[in-house]
Amino acid sequence: MSRLTVYGDFNCPFSALASVRADVLLAARAYGIDWRAGQHDPAIAIAGEPVEGDTAAGLADEVATIAELSDQDVRLHLVVPPVRSNTAAACAALAAAGDDADRLRSRLFAAVWAEGRNVSDLAELDFLGAVRRDADTAGRWQAEFEAGARPVTPTLVLPDGHVSRGLGALARLAELVAATTSSSPTGGTNERE
């Protein structure tokens, strides 16, 4: 099975869409996913920052964009969270998750973008089942992400080494989802009924 590598941040609504599309590919057993959590903005205060003013307006625009981008496949509707989390501890939790990583990744995105939780808060992470941390692996992921030509979340690395970033990564994932669901016996066709 081919493997895709995705670098994404729990704070990033575009990464949230990439995560849902990755889940579709995993469910179809079309690809293995190596999700590497990183921070696109490590300068966020360790306790998180309130979402207000220009930040709130910008996130609202991004959430609207996600609704449009996902309308043809996963129909993802996000809610602007009240806090921008510092995701360092959440990244370390994902790095320590082992076989539970895909479930935890999905849970952390839902916590931020559906429930408005602050995943900077260690008690919140514990509540979400993210009790272990692997800061060394998370640090390696962050260094790999920052070493890229243009560190943008999400970043998708295809099996042949080709790299897509941002909206390009989302478009490539959408293509893979469409190809997977149109060719699977239960995935339907590309024709409208």
Calculate mean pLDDT across residues 80-105.
Answer: 97
d(CA 37, CA 185): 33
Q: Please name each of the domains of the chain with its CATH number.
A: 3-183 (3.40.30.10)
How buried is 3 (Cβ within 10 angstroms: 0-12 exposed, 13-18 middle, 19+ buried)?
exposed
Please check whether residue 85 is in contact with residue 136, taking contact to mean a CB–CB distance below 8 angstroms. no
Q: What integer pLDDT is reported at residue 183 of this predicted model?
A: 64
**Phi and psi at residue 137, in whole multiples of 5°?**
-65, -40
Percent of all residues in the chain with a pLDDT value above 90, rounded to a whole number: 90
d(CA 26, CA 31): 6
Q: What integer pLDDT is reported at residue 184 of this predicted model?
A: 54
Q: Does the pLDDT value for residue 75 go beyond 90? A: yes
d(CA 91, CA 64): 26
Q: How confident is the model at residue 160 (pLDDT cuts 50, 70, 90)?
A: very high
Please check whether residue 52 is in contact with residue 32, taking contact to mean a CB–CB distance below 8 angstroms. no
d(CA 40, CA 154): 9
Q: What is the mean pLDDT of the chain?
A: 93
d(CA 17, CA 177): 12
The separation between CA 155 and the C-alpha centre of its own chain, rounded to angstroms, equals 10
